[in-house]
Amino acid sequence: MKVVFDNIIYNLQRYGGISVVWNELLSRAKADKDLDVVTLDFTHGQEPRFMERYRIPDYKAETPSIFHSSYFRILPQEGVYNVTTVHDLTYHFYRRGLAKAVHLWEERRALQHSEAVICVSENTKRDLLNFYPWVKEEKIQVVYNGVSDVFHPISSVQKKGYMLFVGNSQADYKRYDVAQEVARLTGIELVTAAGVSLEQLNTMYNEALCLLYPSDYEGFGIPVIEAQRAGCPVIAQNHSSIPEVIGEKGLMVQHDTPQRMAAEMADIVRQLQSRPTQDMIEAGFENARRFSWDNTYQQVKQVYENINHNHHF
């Protein structure tokens, strides 16, 4: 079964959520003897054309093939079956103007020409069907993201007791302002992790008192399970995909106002300071075991196999 992986995401971001997902998927696909893998990669050799992310790839595939793009590109060629992964619907909620219009055009084009659509959470699937009710639900498969084995408790690391914020602090919906207010209310240092390696991030989870995750919207929320796997309690907003990911015993606050959310989070932080957290940590370990990149890959591979079966490759 021939599968063409379009690595355009690496021209848009070298680090971050989608790149992490794509790295894990691609590494397993390349090692899978059931697949005949081709990659389109502009980071080495061939230079991308102007506005490459919006273009039809300059590639003639052998047919039949499956074409899976890392970010909303398609290969409109007879005998090629497109797969699109939708990580979130952020642009619909939080972007404006030309950037939003162009992205939605690209997103819509991909959905219109896709044989299968992968959503990373049930919440993302609901959002997708809300904005694109014409997409056939039977085309959509929910495949949860995984968590790297890099994340684990380190017995030799001493707790430093700071609160950790992981994500883009410049994006309003990530609610860095809420995390800052929690720091002000508690007097506890707030440390932001950005652009660090997975190993460095694991050390930071091990050092932290907790992860603050007040985001208004997530397609999945990988840092939640990274932190849990490392033994770091997570305090998150009860919104979007977070209830699916954090688990039944997760520490969540309800959204009301930023001030109320910060106050509720600050109360929980003070409780974490004053009482043992081993039960919460164990609950986090148990929840994180639900997610693995191997499971993610096998479910994505099943999407390919279903296409293969339906079209009698």
Q: What is the C-alpha separation between 217 and 236, in angstroms, rounded?
A: 11
Looking at the chain, the domain(s) classified CATH 3.40.50.2000 span 2-146+292-311, 163-288
pLDDT of residue 61: 95
What amino acid occupies position 19? S
- The whole-number average pLDDT for the span 173-183 is 97
pLDDT of residue 255: 75
Tokens encoding 61: 């595939």
Q: For residue 210, which phi and psi values (nearest 5 degrees)?
A: -165, 165
Per the listing, tokens 């590639």 go with 59
Q: Give the pLDDT confidence of 111-154 residue by residue, as tens digits.
A: 999 999 999 999 999 999 999 999 999 999 999 999 999 999 99
Comparing 110 with 55, which gets the higher pLDDT? Answer: 110
CA angle 288, 170, 110 (to 5 degrees): 70
Burial of 139 (0-12, 13-18, 19+ CB in 10 A): middle
Q: Which CATH architecture has domain 163-288?
A: 3-Layer(aba) Sandwich (3.40)
Its pTM stands at: 0.94
Per cent of the chain over pLDDT 90 is: 87
What amino acid occupies position 97? G
Kindly tell me if the per-residue pLDDT of 46 is higher than 80.
no
pLDDT of residue 45: 52
How far the first Cα of the chain sits from its last, in Å, is: 8
Kindly tell me if the per-residue pLDDT of 41 is higher than 90.
no
Q: Give the pLDDT confidence of 277-309 residue by residue, as tens digits.
A: 899 999 999 999 999 999 999 999 999 999 999
Structural fold of domain 2-146+292-311:
Rossmann fold (3.40.50)
Q: What is the C-alpha separation between 18 and 32, in angstroms, rounded?
A: 21
